[in-house]
Amino acid sequence: MGKKRTFSTRINDDSLKALKHLAVDTDKSLGTLLEEAIEDLIKKYKKMEK
């Protein structure tokens, strides 16, 4: 993994609340969970291209 950069986005309240609960339940940061989700999404779409 390369250099990390900051970016911001908007997310609906219910999704953010669920993400925060997941972070507590898994003892991971919001950033870690978001990176994991982004990596999974990239893999998903790469598979669809094939």
Domain locations in the chain as residue ranges? 13-49
pLDDT tens by residue, 25-43: 999 999 999 999 999 999 9
- How sure is the predictor about 49, in pLDDT bands with cuts at 50, 70 and 90? confident
What pLDDT, on the 0 to 100 scale, is given for residue 43?
A: 96
Torsion of CA 31, 29, 18, 5, to 10 degrees: -10
Q: What is the rounded average pLDDT of the residues 13-28?
A: 98
